[in-house]
């Protein structure tokens, strides 16, 4: 019971933290829409072409804009020592990684999920494709959060090359994008591809506490 | 076999075998080039371009092999606390990257006359490109961390996480219908390649392996010295 | 409560400190003295089981610390040399968050008196980022009262504080000791706090 309370209040803390930095999340979403705008004008506002490649644009830009907030994943809590305090409060590092991943999913990816309908209206994406996009992203975004947790915990002590974290997330998210776009374009394969996506999610979710926990421990040890 | 995990033992053995390995690699290269240019036949479909295979296939094998060995050393270093694994990873990553680059370049040189294009986005080519980028990330990580202890362990974890790419590279031609042909040589069945072509391929593979080992010995020795003097 | 035997820590083959012996019973105060870079923070982190010692062992309540970690962590408050309060939130929000995540059973009037004695009661609705260094330090020390645990491990608790606050801390330490608590803190000088053991690094 005590442990459950601690988990609940951990999320309360994350909520307060994200509420005070709400403009950051909003900036992410604005980045997403502005880059859609730039994409549309760079290929010309031809409706047929846009509705053909619209889904791909949305997925690629979702990925790019969700990697923007990676640096804040652990960095703030690491630098002001809150990570250590949470650990001393009775959470192992692996468990902190899981909690942080879920909180990243709730507070950063869910706003993107909510902004997908608007993007679909702008890009003339048909209703059935919109449904596939939503299902694939709701599954892929949790995978992206796990990958983000791994890469940002790896780069906690990397003071020279912050961009490496984004590159790591992007390189590992290639299969997710392949299968998600596969769902949308080859509709009869829906079930098998969603199973593959779910499998990737489970694998990454299992690796995440181990890899992130180890990296967090290492960074705190040598800070 | 202690020299595989112990730096000072490694130094002793390396001094013995470095020169033989280097000489062997030169001989094998001469022999292999002779075989692949003059003593092997033209392919009845591909003509003379098939000779690119004698560079392409060995470098691809060795790119994968290097990564596999790095994965093993990462496991050894993290699980059994063998610091030589970290030394090995730091030293060998650029060699693997170069092998991958040779594989990609020779492959696209081969692809242009055969497929009519330098590059296609099929599963095998994409996964090898990802392997190359993973190698690059390992090298950049080695360059950008200030604290050595954190750096080597984080890189080892990254190598382990990145090793999911290895089976994808290996089996991509079996799992998906790709433009790239499936493997011609496998353990389970008789190779579907003529012995006159197999000989230069094997010789070239060993030549690549020997030159790789020679460079690896040099780099590992440098790494050991720089660690002793706390340069990195 | 806590016994440290022959502790040595190495970093990159460089010895940071060696052969540290320490034993802390209840209502004891130990001070770690030493110059900058002598390894005070490293020793505290080693006691907290964040850093692995190369030689030596630590015991908590008669058992090895590693085997008794959960009990140890539920009895210890650690205050680092940097402020852990969230600079974007107000003082009140920070206190509320601390009260919740540490499952503190302290009531509001106790916190109010503590705030009054620390002279922070006028800043309740200020953002922490706008407080001065000494004030954030005092807010940080408020965590000692909120967490309400037996063992206090403090890293440089006296830096940036004025004389009035140092006097307050002296009294708090004495209070804590009279309630069977014990304290380890690091400092490069001792402004007259009563200590039972002094360790020079």
Question: A47-68 and A127-154 are packed helices; what angle lies between their axes, rounded to 10 degrees?
Answer: 30
Q: What is the pLDDT of residue B189?
A: 58
Mean pLDDT, residues A130-145 taken together: 88
Query: In chain A, what's the furthest Cα-to-Cα distance?
Result: 58
B40 vs A152, more confident:
A152
Q: What is the pLDDT of residue A122?
A: 86
Record: contact B149-C12, CB cut-off 8 A: yes
Rounded Cα–Cα distance for residues B101 and B60 (Å): 9
pLDDT at residue B81 is higher than 60: yes
Cα distance from C162 to chain A (closest Cα, Å)?
Answer: 23
Rounded Cα–Cα distance for residues C134 and B106 (Å): 65
Sites in chain C below the pLDDT cut of 50: none
Q: What is the pLDDT of residues B129-138, one digit of tens each?
A: 999 999 999 9
A174-183, B73-82, B90-99: least confidently modelled range:
A174-183
Confirm or reject contact between C52 and chain B (CB < 8 A). no
A86, A204 contact by CB (below 8 A): no
Count the Cβ atoms, other than its own, within 10 Å of residue C113.
Answer: 12
C-alpha dihedral sign at B85, B91, B93, B99:
negative
Query: In chain B, what's the furthest Cα-to-Cα distance?
Result: 58
Rounded Cα–Cα distance for residues B75 and B64 (Å): 17
Q: How many residues does chain B have?
A: 232
Rounded Cα–Cα distance for residues B62 and B81 (Å): 26
B101, B132 contact by CB (below 8 A): yes
What sections of C2-150 are H helices per DSSP? 40-47, 69-73, 91-101, 108-117, 133-147
Q: What percent of chain A has pLDDT over 70?
A: 99
pLDDT at residue B61 is higher than 80: yes
Record: contact B130-A171, CB cut-off 8 A: yes
Neighbouring chains to A with at least 3 Cβ pairs closer than 8 Å: B, C
| pTM reported for the whole predicted model | 0.90
Burial class (CB in 10 A: 0-12, 13-18, 19+), A151: buried
Give the bridge partners for C76, in sequence order.
C151
Rounded Cα–Cα distance for residues C94 and C125 (Å): 10
Q: What is the pLDDT of residue B180?
A: 75
Mean pLDDT, residues A67-84 taken together: 87
Q: Residue B184: which pLDDT band, with cuts at 50, 70 and 90?
A: low
Mean pLDDT, residues B79-88 taken together: 91
Q: What is the pLDDT of residue C116?
A: 87
* List of domains in chain C: 1-75+150-201 (3.40.50.300), 83-149 (no CATH)
Confirm or reject contact between C67 and chain B (CB < 8 A). no
pLDDT at residue B187 is higher than 60: no
Q: What is the pLDDT of residue C199?
A: 84
CB pairs under 8 A between A and C: 61
B191 vs C194, more confident:
C194
Give the bridge partners for B43, in sequence order.
B47
pLDDT at residue A86 is higher than 60: yes
Q: What is the pLDDT of residue B188?
A: 53
Rounded Cα–Cα distance for residues C96 and C86 (Å): 12
SS3 for C18?
strand
Count the Cβ atoms, other than its own, within 10 Å of residue B45.
Answer: 8
Contacts of B51 (CB under 8 A, 6+ apart): B36, B37, B40
B97, B73 contact by CB (below 8 A): no
SS3 for B198?
helix
Rounded Cα–Cα distance for residues A108 and A26 (Å): 9
Q: Helix and strand tally (H, E) in chain C?
A: 6, 9
Enumerate the domain spans of chain A.
Answer: 2-222
Record: contact C101-A21, CB cut-off 8 A: no
**Which of A157, A174, A203 lies at the smallest CB-CB distance from B130?**
A174
Q: Residue A146: which pLDDT band, with cuts at 50, 70 and 90?
A: very high
C78 DSSP assignment: E
CB pairs under 8 A between B and C: 5
pLDDT at residue B217 is higher than 90: yes
End-to-end alpha carbon distance in chain A: 33
Q: Residue B178: which pLDDT band, with cuts at 50, 70 and 90?
A: low
| DSSP letters for C21-60 | EEEE-TT-EEEEE--TTSSHHHHHHHHTTSS--SEEEEEE
Residue of A nearest to B121 (CA): A178
CATH number for the domain whose boundaries are B2-228: 1.20.120
B48 DSSP assignment: G
pLDDT at residue A208 is higher than 80: yes
CA C45 → CA A96, B19, B66, C13, distances in Å? 19, 49, 38, 19
Record: contact C73-A86, CB cut-off 8 A: no
Mean pLDDT, residues A109-125 taken together: 89
Give the bridge partners for C151, in sequence order.
C76, C182
Confirm or reject contact between A20 and chain C (CB < 8 A). yes
Q: Residue A190: which pLDDT band, with cuts at 50, 70 and 90?
A: confident
Rounded Cα–Cα distance for residues C10 and C27 (Å): 31
Confirm or reject contact between A168 and chain B (CB < 8 A). yes
Mean pLDDT, residues B125-132 taken together: 92
Q: What is the pLDDT of residues B28-54, one digit of tens each?
A: 999 998 988 888 777 777 778 888 888
Q: Residue B158: which pLDDT band, with cuts at 50, 70 and 90?
A: very high
The residue among A13, A14, A96 with the most chain C CBs within 10 A of its CB, best to mutate, is: A13
């Amino acid at each position: 019971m005590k442990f459950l309370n601690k988990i609940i209040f951990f999320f309360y803390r994350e909520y307060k933290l994200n509420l005070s930095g709400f403009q950051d999340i909003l900036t992410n979403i604005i980045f997403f829409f502005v880059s859609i705008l730039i994409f549309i004008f760079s290929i010309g506002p031809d409706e047929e072409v846009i509705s053909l490649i619209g889904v791909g644009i949305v997925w690629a830009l979702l990925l790019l804009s969700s990697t923007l907030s990676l640096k804040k994943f652990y960095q703030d809590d690491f630098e002001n020592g809150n990570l250590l305090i949470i650990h001393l409060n009775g959470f192992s590092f692996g468990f902190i990684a899981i909690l942080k991943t879920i909180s990243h999913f709730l507070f950063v990816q869910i706003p993107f999920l909510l902004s997908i309908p608007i993007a679909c209206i702008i890009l003339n994406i048909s209703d059935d494709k919109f449904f596939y996009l939503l299902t694939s992203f709701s599954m892929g975004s949790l995978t992206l959060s796990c990958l983000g947790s791994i890469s940002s915990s790896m780069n906690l002590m990397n003071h020279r090359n912050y961009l490496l974290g984004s590159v790591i997330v992007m390189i590992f998210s290639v299969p997710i994008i392949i299968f998600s776009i596969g769902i949308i374009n080859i509709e009869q394969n829906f079930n098998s591809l969603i199973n593959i996506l779910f499998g990737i999610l489970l694998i990454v979710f299992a690796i995440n506490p181990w890899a992130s926990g180890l990296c967090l421990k290492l960074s705190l040890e040598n800070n | 076999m202690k020299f595989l995990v112990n730096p000072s033992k490694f130094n002793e053995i390396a001094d013995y075998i470095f020169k033989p390995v280097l000489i062997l690699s030169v001989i094998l290269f001469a022999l292999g080039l002779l075989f692949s240019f003059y003593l092997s036949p033209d392919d009845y479909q591909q003509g003379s371009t098939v000779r690119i295979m004698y560079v392409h296939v060995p470098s691809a094998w060795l790119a994968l092999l290097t990564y596999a060995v790095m994965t093993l050393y990462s496991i050894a270093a993290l699980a059994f606390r063998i610091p030589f694994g970290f030394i090995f990873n730091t030293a060998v990553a650029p060699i693997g990257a170069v092998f991958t680059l040779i594989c990609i370049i020779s492959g696209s040189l081969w692809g242009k006359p055969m497929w009519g294009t330098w590059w296609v986005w099929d599963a095998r080519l994409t996964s090898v490109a990802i392997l190359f980028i993973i190698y690059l990330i390992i090298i950049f990580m080695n360059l950008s961390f200030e604290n050595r202890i954190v750096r080597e362990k984080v890189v080892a974890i990254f190598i382990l996480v990145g090793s999911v790419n290895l089976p994808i590279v290996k089996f991509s031609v079996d799992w998906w219908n790709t433009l790239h042909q499936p493997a011609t040589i496998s353990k389970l069945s008789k190779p579907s390649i003529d012995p006159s072509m197999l000989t230069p391929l094997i010789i070239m593979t060993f030549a690549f392996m020997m030159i790789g080992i020679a460079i690896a010995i040099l780099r590992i020795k440098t790494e050991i010295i720089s660690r002793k003097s706390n340069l990195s | 409560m806590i016994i440290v035997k022959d502790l040595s820590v190495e970093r990159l083959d460089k010895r940071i400190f060696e052969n540290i012996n320490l034993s802390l019973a209840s209502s004891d105060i130990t001070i770690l003295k030493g110059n900058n870079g002598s390894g005070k923070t490293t020793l505290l982190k080693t006691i907290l089981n964040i850093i692995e010692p190369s030689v030596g062992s630590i015991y908590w309540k008669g058992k090895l610390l590693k085997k008794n970690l959960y009990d140890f962590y539920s009895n210890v408050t650690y205050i680092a040399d940097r402020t852990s309060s969230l600079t974007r939130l107000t003082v009140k929000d920070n206190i509320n968050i601390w009260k919740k995540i540490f499952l503190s059973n302290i009531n509001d009037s106790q916190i109010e008196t503590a705030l009054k004695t620390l002279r922070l009661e006028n800043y309740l609705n200020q953002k922490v980022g706008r407080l001065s260094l000494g004030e954030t330090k005092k807010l940080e020390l408020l965590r000692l009262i909120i967490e309400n645990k037996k063992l206090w491990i403090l890293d440089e608790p006296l830096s940036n504080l004025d004389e009035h606050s140092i006097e307050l801390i002296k009294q708090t330490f004495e209070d804590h000791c009279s309630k069977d608590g014990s304290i380890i803190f690091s400092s490069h000088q001792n402004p007259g706090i009563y200590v039972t053991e002094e360790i020079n690094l």
